[in-house]
Amino acid sequence: MHNLPPLNALKAFEASARLQSFTKAAQELNVTRAAVSQQVKSLEQYLNATLFERSGTQLLLTQAAREYLPVVSHLFASLTSTTQHLFSRQRQQQLVLHVAHSFCLQWLMPRLADFQRQYPNVSYKVSTTASTMPNTSDIADIEIINGYGQSSGNNAIGVPSAIQLTQEHWIVVASPAFLRRHAVNSLAELAQAPKLCTSGYQETWQTWLSYQGYHDKTTRVIGEFEHSLLAIEAAVNQLGVLVVRDLLVNDHLQQGELVRIGDWQMPSKGAHFMYLRAAHKPYVNDFAEWLQGCFA
């Protein structure tokens, strides 16, 4: 155990030395003047040092007290600051989110300001994931993954039921500048165009073309990317045509950075699912309702 002076004695000393008055220190600490005087006396005995010299009603600090005061004041200030930093987060209601990487960047980030406007007292901590499976540990209040819900055996112990947020479709997009240089008006022309894709999906260019009824020859994919975000940026930068889930490019289409090619589409086997882990927290439910409302 640390050999520390009594806390109340330190408080009495710090207030008395700072205010240079036992009476004012007593008023600040909401105790009697006699109690402050007794606490200071006990600290002097503990330290085996004289801290104050009394000259009538005037209270003078000794050299020892002048050297000790900034040390004690710093400790109290540090304790106060650290306590507020560590424990005020609970009062501020910090929402912990674990979100699919591309969904976070392409969809959630542009819309978080709306949630902030509606719930200004809720802060948030965000981490991202590329996994199609929910985490079995309690790492977040809400987890949003790009996966297949419970159909892949995700009903593990400790994992809540999946709430499907979206019904998504695979479409083909390209940048306006790319389309000015390449004629892509038919499935045959699309099959021969420079193609981009995101790795890891069950749906490929071949399955998409077959779904449209096209079974002839096609050129190979020229650019395959680990994340949808990278594949979308490649399309924006005129590198080719991209087969992509519509949710991730809706904003790009509205802003004119990308153009949808034809009306062809294919239902996605996967979707974005929300796993609600802390429904007992009101602000967690607020976020869940806000999120679902965005897709209503």
- Residues 6 or more apart from 23 whose CB is under 8 A from it? 33
Cβ atoms of 142 and 97 within 8 Å: the answer is yes
Cβ atoms of 40 and 9 within 8 Å: the answer is yes
Among the residues of the chain, which ranges form H helices? 7-19, 22-29, 33-47, 63-92, 101-103, 112-118, 176-181, 187-192, 205-211, 228-236, 250-255, 282-294
Rounded (5°) CA angle 252-256-258:
60
Q: What one-character DSSP code corresponds to residue 122?
A: -
Assign 227 a pLDDT band (cuts: 50, 70, 90): confident
pLDDT, average across residues 274-291: 89
**pLDDT tens-digit profile of 250-266?**
999 999 999 999 999 99
- Domains, in order of start, for the chain: 7-91 (1.10.10.10), 93-165+274-294 (3.40.190.10), 169-267 (3.40.190.290)
Question: Per the structure block, which two tokens stand in for 1?
Answer: 């155990």
Q: What one-character DSSP code corresponds to residue 281?
A: S
pLDDT at 192 over 90: yes
pLDDT at 153 over 60: no
* Cα 131 from Cα 235, distance rounded (Å): 24
* Cα 49 from Cα 26, distance rounded (Å): 22
**pLDDT tens-digit profile of 25-77?**
999 999 999 999 999 999 999 999 999 998 777 789 999 999 999 999 999 88
pLDDT at 219 over 50: yes
pTM flag (> 0.85): no
* Cα 205 from Cα 214, distance rounded (Å): 11
**pLDDT tens-digit profile of 69-101?**
999 999 988 888 787 767 655 556 789 999 999
